[in-house]
Amino acid sequence: MVILGAERAQSLRRELEAARAAGHLRNRLESFPSTAWARWSIRAAFAAPFLVIASVAADPSVSTITVNQTAVDHVSTLAWDRADVAWITQLYPPLGTVLVRLIPGGAAGLALVGALVAGVLLQLLLEVMVQRRFEWWKSAVFLVAIGANPLFAYTATGNFEAFLSIAFFGIGTINMVRFVSSGNTKAGFESGILFMLAALADASGLVLVVAAAVTAPLLSVARRSESGARWSNVLIVLFPTIAVFAAVMFLQLLFGHSPWSVFENAVHFDPTLGALVPHLFTTLDGVLILAPVASGSALALLSRRPGSILISVFVFLALVLGYVFGLIPVNSAGNVFLVMTMMGIAVIPAARTVRASVLITVVGGVQVLIAWTAALNRPVTHSWMTAIGHVLGWR
pLDDT digit string (tens) for 332-351?
888 888 988 888 888 776 65
Q: How confident is the model at residue 1 (pLDDT cuts 50, 70, 90)?
A: very low
Print burial letters for 160-196: b (CB count within 10 Å at least 16), e (below 16): bbbbbbbbbbbbbbbbbbbbbbbbbeebbbbbbbbbb
Top pLDDT among 99 and 395 is at 99
250 phi and psi angles, rounded to 5 deg: -65, -40
Buried b (16+ CB within 10 A) or exposed e, 52-88: ebbebbbeeebbebbbbbbbbeebeeeeeeeeeeeeb
More confident residue, 180 or 338: 338
Per-residue pLDDT at 208 exceeds 90: no
Of 42-51, 224-233, 358-367, minimum mean pLDDT range:
224-233
Please report, for residues 52, 301, 338, the alpha-carbon distance to residue 46 in angstroms, rounded to integers and kept in the order given: 11, 31, 16
- Summarize pLDDT for 15-39 with one digit per residue, the tens: 555 555 444 444 457 888 889 999 9
Q: Please give the average per-residue pLDDT across 188-208, as a whole number.
A: 91
What local confidence, expressed as pLDDT, does residue 54 receive? Answer: 96
Most confident residue range from 130-139, 263-272, 287-296: 130-139
Q: DSSP letter string over 11-22?
A: HHHHHHHHHHHT
Predicted TM-score of the model (pTM): 0.88
* pLDDT-based confidence at residue 164 (cuts at 50, 70, 90): very high
**DSSP code, position 138:** H
Average pLDDT over residues 238-257: 84
CA distances from 299 to 25, 71, 345 (A): 20, 35, 9
Instruction: State the chain's mean pLDDT as an integer.
Output: 83
Task: In whole angstroms, give the CA distance from residue 244 to residue 321.
Answer: 22
Which three-class secondary structure state does DSSP give residue 307? Answer: coil
pLDDT tens digits, one per residue of 361-379 = 898 899 999 999 989 988 8
Q: What is the DSSP string of 207-252?
A: HHHHHHHHHGGGSPPTTTTSTTHHHHHHHHHHHHHHHHHHHHHHHH
